[in-house]
Structure 1
Amino acid sequence: MCTRVIWPDAAGAVLVGRNMDYHRDTGTNLWLLPQGIERNDGVSGSLSWTAEYGSVVAGAFDMMSVDGMNEAGLAGHILWLAESDYGSRDTSKPSLSMAIWLQYFLDNFATVADAAAWIVDSDVQVVPLGDPATGEVPAVHLALDDATGDSAIIEYLDGKATVWHDRDYRVMTNSPSFDKQIELLKEVDGFGGTKPLPGTTLASDRFARAAYYVGRLPEPKSEVEAVAGMFSVIRNAAQPFRIPDPDKPYASQTIWQTVSDLTNKRYVFDSTTRPNVLWVDFDKLDFSVGAQAGKLDLMGDTSLEGGLAGNVSRRFEETPPMQFLTLPA
């Protein structure tokens, strides 16, 4: 599931909040990935690059970037979209494995406009990969946002990328596709319709609530107030814990949340199963070519006494860069 929402005028800063809703733990850790790392598409190796920008990302199972921000203030967020159709593989086109799809943009672009143009010009394909533990193949779409407040949603429908690019596209949830979400929003009071603001956990209802409340946030007096304001919106769109429903295996609960300050370059992480909020300040990190990659272990000590909390910028442990899941040979 999941929700993403942009607050483009938070007293001069652009903030983005997201909920990660999933039906099981994703083994998420934070990764510090500097400039200069050599990567390839994880499919055939025909598309390769050297990371121009360093980034901090939230990984899934230490094999896939699902959320993160680069040092230029471009951020990206992977969310579920059941209608996704990536089409049959066309080897004449460039491809990116689903695991490294987001990372490609964090490595190579500073703005949404440049990233969106590349998607259209390259006609890039996304190649889905199954979870090696369960065999489950995710169906996802991607949101990109930057420090200017620009936004794009990329969905693969009927085998081709559709790019919804406009700074007014502040909210993204899940099904149905983004164009249909926009039409459903018009039925709600305050957006042109007469229906009351909905309250269920349906993606369309979360979409409406996030759009409504982010447009009514008071001007913050500090960065702390800005982050708190964004958390108040995404928590309103969060999904509570639930007993698993065998008839709805896709039904999810919010397992963690992030707030990305794209202007001041701060990445805030909050787990729903751990007691502490933590954050990373980019001005305290070394993203230069040749710098050591790092990993922040969020799966270790989660106690009130010893768990990670507060500013953890200096607590990344040196490690080889994250190895992304690749298509089996």
Structure 2
Amino acid sequence: MRNLRLPNRLLTTAAVAVSCLAAAGSFSHACSRTLWKSEGQPVLVGRTMDWTGKMGTKLQVMPRGIAREGMTDQNPLKWTSKYGSVVATIWDGATSDGINEAGLNANLLYLAETKYGDRDPTRPGLAVSLWAQYFLDNFATVAEAVKAADSFQVKPFELIHQGEPADAPVHLSLADASGDSAIIEIIDGKTRIHHGPQYNVMTNSPVYDQQLVLLKQYQGLGGKKPIPGTMDAEDRFARGAFYLTKLPKKPESYQEAVAGVLTVMRNMATPLGAVDPVKPNVSPTQWTTICDLKNKRYYFEFSRMPNVVWVDLDKLDLSEGASEQRFDLANDIEAAGEVSGKFRKCDPFIFQKAGTAVTWKPE
């Protein structure tokens, strides 16, 4: 398997030309994530999932007390879930997003520069399909999660996308009800962590250190350039950081606070149909979520549907021994509002094993 990479945006004209030529033979998908904490309102985390096609996304209830293993051939990490969660699954094989009953949120976003490194069987192994789920199962705060972030080795499964293989290169964000945040990347087999509430925006390439440098060139963020409007990851990063500063410091209501984060995410989203053959890292936004980390509420919307649904975790049975449950909004197009009553018992979710290829195909 190989990891397909997109080059970073460089600052010289010549380097940009080389970058555009190189990008024509590679791909990534694009996603965005923001965290916002305002006076009198809960911490809210928004994210978009951008990809060239549907991903079979469903909402899944994961109760406490589930025994899991890391889905690697050698020395898999083992644990039993301490916290119940609601997650968004993709390709019937991975958790990509979610919130647990303690108010911890996790999001997986694409990062073409990710390199997982050779397998070290002396370290517990964890398939990337379970990376977000591991943190949701085990931790209540970002600080707790960060302490464990380098105690195991993450290994990829293989995506076959537009006929090309890629080792599911992603990075991960965490947030909790206090507003704490962390961005975790795996570069050349080494774990890099940016930990603190100031890390409130995330997109894709380049790596996070470089994103922070690029951000300083824009008006309102340290520089003089106008806020960019393209669909490129570094431009969406700047746009998200800028628009967060424009939200009211004290929203008039809870509804306005949630809607405010949605306005930022929609400004970072990519329209349906926006597939650029010259810039294959540009992909349409397939869905958007908002996590309310205080009230344990999970909002979800498909871009192809005008209705927003949400789930209140306190209305779900997350107790040990309870059944896993699933809600498929794509097959319930009239659903809107709070949908905890629409989840139905289902078989236990099976995570994609490290080193295997995703076989899911759209119906």
The Cα of 1:64 is off from its aligned counterpart by 0.3
The 8 Å contact of residues 275 and 284 in structure 2, kept in 1 or not, is answered as: no
The Cα of 1:132 is off from its aligned counterpart by 7.1
The Cα of 1:301 is off from its aligned counterpart by 3.5
2:301 is matched with 270
- C-alpha root-mean-square deviation of aligned residues, in Å? 1.6
The Cα of 1:189 is off from its aligned counterpart by 1.2
The Cα of 1:267 is off from its aligned counterpart by 0.3
2:66 is matched with 37
Matches within 5 A, 1:202-241: 202-218=232-248, 219-241=250-272
Higher deviation after alignment, 111-120 or 175-184: 111-120
1:150 is matched with 180
Q: Which amino acid aligns with 2:205?
A: S
Q: Which amino acid aligns with 1:99?
A: S
Q: Which amino acid aligns with 2:287?
A: W
Q: Which amino acid aligns with 1:266?
A: R
The Cα of 1:96 is off from its aligned counterpart by 0.8
The Cα of 1:248 is off from its aligned counterpart by 4.0
Task: Label 1:42 to 1:143 Cα distance change in 2 as closer, same or farther (>3 A).
Answer: same
2:336 is matched with 309
Task: Label 1:207 to 1:328 Cα distance change in 2 as closer, same or farther (>3 A).
Answer: closer
Instruction: Give identity over the alignment, percent.
Output: 49
Q: Which amino acid aligns with 1:41?
A: G
TM-score (norm 1): 0.94
Higher deviation after alignment, 218-227 or 285-294: 218-227
Q: For 2:43 and 2:282, how far apart are their aligned partners in 1?
A: 31
2:36 is matched with 7
Q: For 2:119 and 2:309, how far apart are their aligned partners in 1?
A: 40
Matches within 5 A, 1:12-161: 12-44=41-73, 46-120=76-150, 122=151, 124-131=152-159, 135-161=165-191
The Cα of 1:63 is off from its aligned counterpart by 1.0
The 8 Å contact of residues 232 and 282 in structure 2, kept in 1 or not, is answered as: no
The Cα of 1:46 is off from its aligned counterpart by 3.0
Q: For 1:267 and 1:131, how far apart are their aligned partners in 2?
A: 27
For the pair 1:327 / 2:357, whether they are aligned, the reply is no
Unaligned runs of 5+ in 1: none
Q: Which amino acid aligns with 1:37?
A: I
Matched residue count? 323
Q: Secondary structure at the match of 1:327?
A: coil
Unaligned runs of 5+ in 2: 1-29, 357-363
The 8 Å contact of residues 23 and 249 in structure 1, kept in 2 or not, is answered as: no
Matches within 5 A, 1:175-214: 175-214=205-244
Q: Which amino acid aligns with 1:20?
A: M
